[in-house]
């Protein structure tokens, strides 16, 4: 069939998505290294009335889930991150032509790999973005977490658009 791409001929279409994931991964790692070089654990700099730069270590997952566990969570979350990355690369290759879907997956991929590297290198994820209001602090996060969040939100939006267009 002329013009129809198969799974095996798709790499030219999915490389840009891997490139986006790489850019997000590098941005995440560069910012984390900057924090590690300039801040001690717990140090903070006030930027605005609602935003600080801090140095925090998260041995758990989102919102410090399982952070208080005995150490097994490091390998558990690393394994989940590696499995997710492999699955996402497979999905990107199979669906590279779906732009919003692939963009969202690339964001999640770049963030997931960034946090996996932290877990392998340090045993924790380096967080440094601190949003707060009236004494309430959102859990500190990083570029990888932001990329994963944006990717997840766009993935939901993509699915809502897909369901709506199917009606």
Q: Which of 28, 118, 145, 158 is catalytic?
A: 145
Active site residue 127: yes
- CA atoms of 128 and 14, how far apart (whole Å): 31
This prediction's pTM:
0.86
15-31 tens-digit pLDDT: 899 999 999 999 999 99
- CA atoms of 67 and 52, how far apart (whole Å): 22
Active site residue 43: no
Work out the angle at residue 152's Cα, subtended by the Cα atoms of residues 146 and 157, and round it to the nearest 5 degrees: 125
pLDDT value of residue 66: 56
Q: Which of 118, 127, 130, 158 is catalytic?
A: 127
> Hey, where are the domains in the chain?
13-38+71-121+143-166
129-147 tens-digit pLDDT: 999 999 898 999 999 999 9
């Amino acid at each position: 069939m002329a013009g129809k791409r198969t799974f095996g001929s798709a790499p030219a279409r999915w490389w840009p998505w891997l490139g986006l994931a790489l850019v997000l991964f590098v941005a995440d790692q560069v910012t984390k290294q900057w924090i590690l070089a300039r801040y001690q654990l717990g140090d903070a700099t006030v930027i605005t009335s609602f935003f600080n730069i801090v140095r925090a270590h998260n041995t758990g997952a989102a919102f410090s889930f399982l952070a208080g566990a005995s150490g097994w969570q490091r390998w558990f979350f690393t394994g989940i991150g590696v499995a997710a990355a492999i699955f996402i690369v497979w999905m990107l290759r199979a669906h590279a032509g779906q732009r919003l879907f692939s963009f969202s997956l690339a964001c999640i991929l770049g963030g997931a790999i960034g946090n996996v590297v932290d877990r392998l290198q340090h045993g924790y994820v380096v967080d440094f973005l601190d949003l707060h209001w009236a004494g309430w602090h959102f859990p500190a996060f990083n570029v990888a977490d932001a990329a994963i969040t944006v990717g997840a939100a766009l993935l939901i939006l993509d699915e809502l658009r897909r369901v709506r267009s199917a009606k």
